[in-house]
Amino acid sequence: MKHRALLVVAGLVGAATLAVSLTVAAAGTSRPSGHATPVKSAAIAPPKVPNAAAIKAKYHGQSIQFIGDAAVGASHKRDLKLVARFQKDTGIKVNLVPHPSGSDAAYSQLARAFGSKSSKPDVAMIDVVWPGAFAPYLVNLKPALGKASKQFVQSIIQNDTIGGKLVAIPWFGDFGILYYRTDLLKKYGYSKPPTTWNTLFAMAKKIQDGEQKSNKNFYGLVYQGNSYEGLTCDALEWVASAGGGNFIDNGKVTINNTKAATILDAMRNQVGKLTPRGVTSYDEEGARNVFAAGNAMFMRNWPYAYSANQTTPVKGKFSVTVLPHGAAGHSVGTVGGWQLAVSKFSKHKPAAIEFVRYMTSPAVQKFNAIFNSNVPTIPAVAKIKAVVKTNPYLTPAIANVARVTRPGKYLKTHYNEGSKAIYQGVSQILNGTPAKNVLPSIASKLNSLIK
C-alpha cells in the first residue's frame, strides 16, 4: 500500500511538473524567433495569378504537393494565403505540407523522398546550399523560367545553376549585416559606423572600455560563434571580406591562405576580450539576446533581427549597415535563404512549374516582404517604397552589398560534411588554436570531398 501511495503522489507531481516545464518551454520559445517576425500584420492581399485563364484551361483539376515553410510565425500563414489564391485562380489543387523547422530534418525529409524516387512532393522549398546535393533529382527550369530568372540577384541564380541547369528559383533571401548602436556611436564621438574590421575593433575597444565602467557585461562585438552552420556563414564573410576567397573558388579549395589565417586569428584574439568568451556557443538568437539587452555595441546577424529587435530595450537605438572588410577586401554578406524547385519524379511537372512561376514572381515577392519581412531576391522589388518602409535594411547602400555563397555548388551531396569541416575547424580556432594549425586540415578534408 505504501508503494501505491508513493506512486500516486509521484505520478501527480510528475504530471504537474511536466505541465509547468512545458509552460517554461513555451515561454522560452515565445521569444521572437527565427525568420518570421512581421513588423505588423500589414494589410496586403496575395496578388492575382497572371495569365490565370490559360493555365486553368490546361491544368485545371490537377493536384500537386508543395513542401513549404515551417509552421513558425507567419511563414505558414503566408504559404496558406498564397496557395489559396493560386488554387482559386487556376483550379490546380495545391496540397501544402510544412517542412520540419530544423534545417537538418528538412534536408533528410527531402533526401528520403528523392532517394526513393517518390512522385511527392511536386514542389519543395530548398535551402540555398542544397541545389548541389539535389540537382540530379530536380527539373531544369531554364526552358520555362530562364527569361524570368534574369530579374533575380544573379549570384543566387548562379548558385542555383548546376552543370548549366537551372534547378531552383530564388524565393526569398537573407544576407549577413552589421547591427550597431546609434546612441553609443554618438556618445563616443563617432560620426559613422566602421567600414573595416580594424576600425571596428578600435571603436569597440573604446566603447567597451567606457561602458564596462557601469555595465560589466558590455561587449564590443557579438556574432554566431557556435559550432554549427551559422559559423560557416560568419566565417565566409570574414574570410571573403579580407580578400581570402570563398573557401572553394572555381573548383579549387582556397581556404588555406594567409589572408584567411590573418582575419581568423584576429577574431580568435578578440574572444574573451571584445567578444564574450561564450560567443563560441552563440547562435542567431544567442547573439541577438545580448545585443537586444543593450550589452553589445556591434552584432553580425540576419535581417530578421531588425524587426525582432523592435520590441526590445534597444528599439530606436540601433541601425544597420554592411559588414566591415579587411585591408585588401570589400564588404560582403553571406547569402542565405530559400529556393523553390520541382521534383523530377513529379507527375504534374507543367502545373508545378506554373506554381513556381507564380510563387517567385515580383508581385508575390512584394507580398512576402510586406506580409512577412522576407528579403526579396529580385532587386527591383527591394527598391519598392512600401517594401523598403517595412524593411529598412533594404536601402540600396546595404542591399547592394556583394553577396558570397557557401560552397554548396562544389560540395554537392557532401555539403553538410564540408560545412561541418569548416565550422568545426573555425570553432577550434576561436577556442584558441592558431589558424595556421587548422586551415591545412580543413583544406585537405574539403579536397577529399570535391574529388
Binding site for other proteins (CB under 8 A): 2-3, 5-6, 9-10, 12-14, 17-18, 21-22, 24-25, 28, 104, 108, 111-112, 114-117, 133, 136, 216-217, 219, 226-228, 272, 276-281, 289-290, 293, 295, 413-414, 416-417, 420, 423-424, 427-428, 431
H or E element, residue 97: strand 93-98
SS (H, E, C) 308-345: HHHHCCCCCCEEEECCCECCCCCCEEEEEEEEEEEECC
Least gap, CB of 231 to other proteins (angstroms)? 10
Least gap, CB of 158 to other proteins (angstroms)? 22
The three-class DSSP label of residue 397 is helix
Q: Whose Cβ is closer to other proteins: residue 2's or residue 150's?
A: 2
SS (H, E, C) 375-413: ECCCHHHHCCHHHHHHCHHHCHHHHCCEEECCCHHHHHH
Q: How far apart are CA 355 and CA 342, in angstroms?
A: 10
Residues 6+ apart with CB under 8 A from 42: 370, 371, 390
Q: Whose Cβ is closer to other proteins: residue 55's or residue 429's?
A: 429
Q: Whose Cβ is closer to other proteins: residue 245's or residue 286's?
A: 286
Least gap, CB of 416 to other proteins (angstroms)? 5
Q: Whose Cβ is closer to other proteins: residue 159's or residue 295's?
A: 295
Least gap, CB of 182 to other proteins (angstroms)? 22
Q: Whose Cβ is closer to other proteins: residue 290's or residue 375's?
A: 290
Q: Whose Cβ is closer to other proteins: residue 118's or residue 182's?
A: 118
Least gap, CB of 115 to other proteins (angstroms)? 4
Q: Do residues 340 and 167 lie in contact, with contact meaning Cβ atoms separated by under 8 Å?
A: no
Residue 147 CB neighbour total at 10 angstroms: 9
Q: Whose Cβ is closer to other proteins: residue 394's or residue 430's?
A: 430
Q: If you search the block for the grid coordinates 500563414, which residue do you land on?
A: 77
Q: If you search the block for the grid coordinates 485563364, which residue do you land on?
A: 53
Q: How far apart are CA 393 and CA 306, in angstroms?
A: 8
Q: If you search the block for the grid coordinates 541601425, which residue do you land on?
A: 319
Per-residue burial over 311-338, b if 16 or more Cβ lie within 10 Å, else e, is ebebeeebbbbbbbbbeebebbbbbbbb
Q: Do residues 70 and 100 lie in contact, with contact meaning Cβ atoms separated by under 8 Å?
A: yes
The three-class DSSP label of residue 372 is helix
Measure the N-to-C terminal CA separation of the chain; round to a whole number of Å: 69
Least gap, CB of 233 to other proteins (angstroms)? 14
Q: Whose Cβ is closer to other proteins: residue 319's or residue 424's?
A: 424
Paired residues of 448 in beta bridges: none
Q: Whose Cβ is closer to other proteins: residue 140's or residue 390's?
A: 140
Q: How far apart are CA 134 and CA 165, in angstroms?
A: 12
Q: How far apart are CA 223 and CA 218, in angstroms?
A: 14
Least gap, CB of 44 to other proteins (angstroms)? 36
Least gap, CB of 280 to other proteins (angstroms)? 4
Q: Whose Cβ is closer to other proteins: residue 377's or residue 427's?
A: 427
Burial (CB < 10 A; 0-12, 13-18, 19+), residue 155, is middle
Q: How far apart are CA 141 and CA 170, in angstroms?
A: 12
Q: How far apart are CA 376 and CA 88, in angstroms?
A: 25
Q: Whose Cβ is closer to other proteins: residue 87's or residue 424's?
A: 424
Least gap, CB of 69 to other proteins (angstroms)? 21
Least gap, CB of 167 to other proteins (angstroms)? 14
Least gap, CB of 3 to other proteins (angstroms)? 7
